[in-house]
Amino acid sequence: MKSKTKVYSWAVLAALTLSACGGGSEVGSGSATVSDQKNSYVIDVNDVVAEVQPTMYGIFFEDINFAADGGLYAELIKNGSFEFDEPLMGWEQPASDRFSMNDASGFATAINKVSDDPNSRFLRVEVKSPTGYVLTNSGFRGMGIKEGNTYNLTFNASVLEGKSTMNFELLAEDGSVLGSTKVTPSGGAWKEYKAAIKSSKTDMKGTLRISFEGAGKLDIDLVSLFPEDTWMNRPRGLRADLVQKLADLKPGFLRFPGGCIVEGRTLAKRYQWKKTVGDIEDREMLINRWNTEFAHRLTPDYYQSFGIGFFEYFQLSEDLGAEPLPILGCGMACQFNTGELVPMDEMEPYVQDALDLIEFANGPITSPWGKVRAEMGHPEPFNMKYIGVGNEQWGPEYIKRYKLFEDALKAEYPEIIIISGSGPYPDGEMFEYGWDQLKDLKTEIVDEHYYRPPNWFLENADRYDSYDRNGPKVFAGEYAAQSVAIASPDNKNNWNCALSEAAFMTGLERNADLVTMTSYAPLMAHAEGWQWTPDLIWFNNLESYGTANYYVQKLFSNNAGTHLVTLKEDNKPVIGAKGLYASAVLDKETGEVIVKIVNNNESKESVDMSIKGLANLQGKATMEVISAMDPDAVNSFSSPENISPELIDFNISGTDFSLEVEPKSLSVIRIKSQEILALNY
């Protein structure tokens, strides 16, 4: 790995040495001052608290911040089917004037079909001049175009009069041509046309220009432009660099599609999974509920094309080796908005949607919804094990509806694990009410959300130590430290927030017998199209980077282990009394002890470690460290790894040793022992 001289005060990490010290060893580094407090940890590999669930560390995807259209979904054309409320939003006619006859150019008009077709509009183009008419589309805050890449163009057309050749050009921000192709539609019947454009240069703010050669009249629809180098090279696929960042997290589950978009501002605008599967042209576009949610970040051009629909979410889960966790609406619109309710005697369609979703995911191809899955290219079941009912709903009306779902789902699919919500806050009257009711219902897993200041995370590392072990399991489904305030546009993904989350995560891990799933939120944000901050991954039209929070998540998820064991000081958990937080797991598959230590102090700390239950530790060990003395330090497009792990290799002998942990740091130590492979758990 690259050294982080901007982050680490100890640039000599690569030269780290281990020296014998009495009966054990000492790991030391750098010249930072070591505090004089004593820290002595005992890890007992025979004191197994719980198996760490494969779902312990996952990811939560919601289409906020242009995370889907304009982000993960690699489509470059915005509003290619003219279905936005303003049909030509995203399109420009630079040589035309809507208040003139446009005899020297031409004009385009959106036409509504007289049908209930979900793709209800197309564009009628009247070209009046042989060379004067132009349409342009600049995508989602520009199109990211890369030198040497091929871009696959598709569109549907029907010729009504004359003959017009369409010249498709990719333009750079300065107007220069990056690549082009020509297509001449023919015939009055609708046809699909395909072409490809290869780019000669890279540009962050590309535009597609369509110029028409020859007068005539034609209808066009479903204009689409995709890079060829999508994830797994799938046609109409996902943006490869963003999926790779998800894959690098090795997530145990993927929660989708939300989040508040599940609920909708109104019930009419709620997310309906059945409208997101099948052929792309049959998926009904929907305004995104984050479109105008925040006055400080109005995004009127934010819609959901559902190019990423439920099939694609399941497919992505499979690609990542993650359990799919779909969340469904429960007949309640977002309670921060209208809070509309479906009457209890009209809930049957909502419950049936959940039953049909299980059939879509797991059913045989002879079943109605299993057949739809097979026709989309996946005859094998997705083997879905989890489903969530509602997002951040609360109160008696939610409990009534949750019970209705639970009774129906368990009657037909008793093996499916149902996840309930507990509202948007981690405490308070409605939170307590929800938990009391859900305990009585013997709910399997309760989803808790926390968007709180960094100090809250430090102070709540012991949050789950006192939870009832006979009640539901816990899903920490959405959390992120807020550097300023919840929903503030000034929140930053700084090291102070990331380190506080790391401290909290040691508490989640120490309670792995209770906490079985965790995920940061939100997952992604477009640098120019965001509504909410902080976010785990930031991207623009060409690049992406993981935040400091991302690398904290990665260190935990890549070092999850298989069994939680005790780590104590003076027979107590290490939960911040001295500014240190720690947890320990075993990895039975690799034969390693994995220790995570967070040092929130401004001084280096010396830690004496004793590992009980093993006769000897020998050979190589590793330590990955993230450290920064500046609490406001961040990653950026210009410095994407400013805060990221440094890997140290060292040798060890004996079960007692000492190490030094850097100030303001997260350290993950992996120590091999063949004895662990032989332990019988």
Which amino acid would we find at residue 583? S
Same domain, 166 and 260: no
Contacts of 104-113 with C-beta under 8 Å, sequence gap 24+, read 104/128, 104/129, 104/132, 105/129, 105/132, 105/133, 105/134, 106/132, 106/133, 106/212, 107/133, 108/135, 110/82, 111/219
Total count of domains within the chain: 3
- pLDDT of amino acid 166: 98
Q: Is residue 588 part of a domain?
A: yes
Looking at residue 346, what DSSP letter applies? G
Same domain, 255 and 203: no
In DSSP terms, which residues pair with 59 in a beta bridge?
254
- pLDDT of amino acid 104: 77
Same domain, 375 and 500: yes
379: left (phi over 0), alpha (psi -120 to 50) or beta: alpha
Which of 460, 488, 519 delimits the end of a domain? 519
- Both tokens of residue 412? 């037909």
CA distance 164 to 186: 9
- Both tokens of residue 73? 């979904």
Q: Is residue 292 part of a domain?
A: no
Same domain, 490 and 373: yes
Q: What global pTM score does this model have?
A: 0.95
Q: Is residue 160 part of a domain?
A: yes
CA distance 331 to 278: 24
Same domain, 45 and 112: no
Instruction: Give the 3-state secondary structure of residue 187.
Output: coil
CATH number for position 397: 3.20.20.80
CA distance 580 to 435: 31
Q: Is residue 308 part of a domain?
A: no
Q: Is residue 79 part of a domain?
A: no
Peptide bond just before 364 cis, omega within 30 deg: no
Q: Is residue 513 part of a domain?
A: yes
Same domain, 33 and 130: no
Instruction: Residue count of the chain, please give it.
Output: 681
Same domain, 149 and 212: yes
- Both tokens of residue 160? 């009504």
Same domain, 369 and 262: yes
Integer CA distances (angstroms), 320 to 171, 257, 554, 556, 588, in order: 35, 16, 14, 17, 22
Which residues constitute the domain of residue 577? 13-51+561-678
CA distance 540 to 528: 7
Same domain, 207 and 260: no
Where b means 16+ CB within 10 Å and e means fewer, 68-107 reads bbbbbbbbbbbbbbbbbeebbebbebebbeeeeebeebbb
pLDDT in tens, 233-248: 999 999 999 999 999 9
Same domain, 580 and 618: yes
Which of 197, 227, 257 delimits the end of a domain? 227
392 is catalytic: yes
Q: Where are the beta strands (DSSP E) in 298-444?
A: 303-304, 323-328, 386-389, 417-421
Instruction: Give the 3-state secondary structure of residue 613.
Output: coil
Where b means 16+ CB within 10 Å and e means fewer, 3-14 reads ebeebbbbeebe
CA distance 338 to 115: 30
**DSSP annotation string for 308-342:** S-HHHHHHHHHHHT-EEEEEE--SB--TTTT--B-
Kindly compute the dihedral angle of the four CA atoms of residues 526, 531, 532, 536, in this order, to the nearest 10 degrees. -10
* Cα 511 → chain centroid: 24
Same domain, 385 and 487: yes
Contact between 444 and 417 under an 8 Å Cβ cutoff? The reply is yes
Which residues does 195 contact at the CB level (< 8 Å), separation at least 6? 152, 153, 168, 181, 182, 183
Same domain, 128 and 180: yes
- pLDDT of amino acid 31: 58
> What residue ranges of the chain have pLDDT lower than 70?
1-31
pLDDT in tens, 271-310: 999 999 999 999 999 999 999 999 999 999 999 999 999 9
CA distance 606 to 597: 12
**Phi/psi of residue 474, each to 5°?**
-115, 135
Which of 519, 544, 576 delimits the end of a domain? 519
CA distance 51 to 323: 17
Contact between 53 and 512 under an 8 Å Cβ cutoff? The reply is yes
CA distance 131 to 104: 9
**Phi/psi of residue 659, each to 5°?**
-145, 160
CA distance 323 to 58: 9
Contact between 227 and 139 under an 8 Å Cβ cutoff? The reply is no
Looking at residue 296, what DSSP letter applies? G
Q: Is residue 309 part of a domain?
A: no
Q: Is residue 69 part of a domain?
A: no
Catalytic residue among 75, 392, 501, 592: 392
CATH number for position 649: 2.60.40.1180
Contact between 561 and 586 under an 8 Å Cβ cutoff? The reply is yes
Which residues does 278 contact at the CB level (< 8 Å), separation at least 6? 372, 376
CATH number for position 160: 2.60.120.260
CA distance 567 to 273: 44
* Cα 198 → chain centroid: 30
Peptide bond just before 522 cis, omega within 30 deg: yes
Q: Which of 490, 491, 520, 540 is nearest to 640 (CA)?
A: 540
